[in-house]
Amino acid sequence: MGASLDWKAVTDESIGWFKDLLRIDTTNPPGNERPAADYIARILDREGIRFEIHESEPTRANIVARLEGSGNKGPLLLNGHLDVVPADPGHWEHEPFAATEADGCIWGRGAIDMKNMVTMGLMSLVLLKRQGVKLERDVIFAGVADEEAGSNRGAVYLVDQHPELVRADYVLNEVGGHTLYMGSERFYPIQISEKGICWFEITAEGEPGHGSMPHANNAVVRLGRAIAALGSTRLPQHNTPVVENFLRTLARGAPFPQNKLMPLLLEPRLAGRLLDVIGKKNADQAMGINAMLRNTTSPTILSGGKKVNVIPSSSSVQVDGRVIPGRSVQEFLDEVQRVLGPDLKLSVRTQHDGTVFSSDTPLYDAIVDKLAQHAPGATPVPYMIPGFTDSFAYAKLGAVCYGFSPVELGPDLNFTRMYHGHNERIPVAGFRWGQRVLYEVVRDFCT
């Protein structure tokens, strides 16, 4: 499998690439992933690895590279999105696009979501080439645009317009492989499922009028009541096998009283009260579990009148809806309508179904085996994320997709809080650990 590797030198080089990518501002909107794709292209060109860049729109670049294997086994795709969400520098300890190294971490927007995985996937491809590894599978690397806005200019575009470039039996993607602590026990979630989306709009109609004369049929007030109702109501609980197994597995390693409470969360008549209890001590944990157990709604964008002294005839709010896999969009909208009542109009802006993939595969087994080697005593566990990733797009081509972007975290760093939050960062040691784990999973699975 090639000469032995100097992992200090390898990860020093990888960290250099990672910092360079963090310094490229690919905030979406507008995206502008082209400079990041060009940076990756220069590395691939230097290493003699063939690649293609395809823009879905000007500056919305996607880069795909491939190392060919014997073809005896189906391809593996390493996916990473190049865009990042906006950052408010005023709330950061270090400038979000400076890639500052401080307190044992590398700080920057995209450090966890997900230029770390982009870099680790790129380095894994390069190492396979440098080491002359004899591959049984093609290994594909894809750095894509637009995941943060729905993937239409990135993974969806590639799947629809260039499926021959990204068709694979398996995909490794984001949101999984991080250390999760329950008391003194360590777990490594491996994402095998994700919720679907239904982004929709609620519109309230009313009587227009002069702002100096309030009346009961104000569209803004009606909409406000609807938003308040959504914000104070938990939609019906829908347990799934993945989430049930996840909670029961965590409970076996959790300290008292969590070991007793977590299985009870699967009882709809008890779950609401228990989530309230958990939330008083650990709000992040309660939010995460709640989102795994039901469809959810988050009002995000309001629009209404155009003048402060005019009561508008209509007002609307855009809502981020997330749908449990196996539940239809219509079932979800019916749940929402029952909360709002019949008089408010719902209109879907965009939607796609959730996904569930089997954990009974050679790739899942390879991940578990490698974690046993590099995280002895920890427990791998399949789980579902409340959000979505590019995996829903690759699933259209029949791929089995896992979220496995490995990073070793200490108990003081909350993984989920890093996503889209202030002060996003990754431990240097945890990145080095993840780079080696990912490469060895890819190498061993593909030979």
Half-sphere exposure of 176 (CA within 13 A, CB side): 31
Quick one: 51 and 111 in the same domain?
yes
Quick one: 201 and 340 in the same domain?
yes
Quick one: 38 and 176 in the same domain?
yes
Instruction: Identify the domain boundary among 352, 378, 410.
Output: 352
> Is 252 part of any domain?
yes
Closest among 403, 390, 320 to 156, alpha carbons compared = 390
Quick one: 276 and 382 in the same domain?
no
Q: What is the pLDDT along the chain (447 residues), one digit of tens a residue?
A: 456 899 999 999 999 999 999 999 999 999 999 999 999 999 999 999 999 999 999 999 999 999 999 999 999 999 999 999 999 999 999 999 999 999 999 999 999 999 999 999 999 999 999 999 999 999 999 999 999 999 999 999 999 999 999 999 999 999 999 999 988 899 999 999 999 999 999 999 999 999 999 999 999 999 999 999 999 999 999 999 999 999 999 998 888 888 888 999 999 999 999 999 888 888 888 899 999 999 999 999 999 999 999 999 999 999 999 999 999 999 999 999 999 999 899 999 999 999 999 999 999 999 999 999 999 999 999 999 999 999 999 999 999 999 999 999 999 888 887 888 899 999 999 999 999 999 999 999 999
Instruction: Identify the domain boundary among 352, 369, 404.
Output: 352
Quick one: 108 and 227 in the same domain?
no
Quick one: 118 and 216 in the same domain?
no
Joined tokens for residue 440: 């060895």
Quick one: 113 and 202 in the same domain?
no
Domains: count for the chain: 2
pLDDT for the residue 282: 83
Quick one: 169 and 201 in the same domain?
no
Is 409 in a helix, a strand, or coil?
A: coil
> Is 192 part of any domain?
no
Distances (CA, A) of 371 to 119, 190, 199, 320, 436: 20, 11, 36, 35, 11
> Is 304 part of any domain?
yes
Quick one: 176 and 211 in the same domain?
no
Query: What DSSP letter does each residue of 412-437 carry, written as one string?
Result: T--HHHHTTSTT-EEEHHHHHHHHHH
Helix axes 329-340, 219-231, angle to 10 degrees: 120
Closest among 174, 183, 185, 111 to 406, alpha carbons compared = 174
> Is 80 part of any domain?
yes
pLDDT for the residue 62: 98
> Is 189 part of any domain?
no
> Is 190 part of any domain?
no
pLDDT for the residue 2: 54
Quick one: 314 and 325 in the same domain?
yes
Domain of 159 in residue numbering reads as: 7-183+355-445
Closest among 346, 342, 315, 320 to 333, alpha carbons compared = 346
Is 34 in a helix, a strand, or coil?
A: helix
**Contact between 192 and 384 (Cβ < 8 Å):** yes
Instruction: Scan for tokens 């993984």, then name that residue.
Output: 415
CATH of the domain at 430: 3.40.630.10
Quick one: 148 and 277 in the same domain?
no
Instruction: Identify the domain boundary among 301, 328, 352.
Output: 352
Query: What DSSP letter does each residue of 121-136 carry, written as one string?
Result: HHHHHHHHHHHT---S
Q: What is the pTM (predicted TM-score) of this model?
A: 0.93
Instruction: Scan for tokens 């009870």, then name that residue.
Output: 264
pLDDT for the residue 111: 97
Half-sphere exposure of 197 (CA within 13 A, CB side): 21
Quick one: 209 and 256 in the same domain?
yes
- Residue 387 CB: number of other CB atoms within 10 A? 17
Helix or strand (DSSP H, E) at 247? helix 241-253
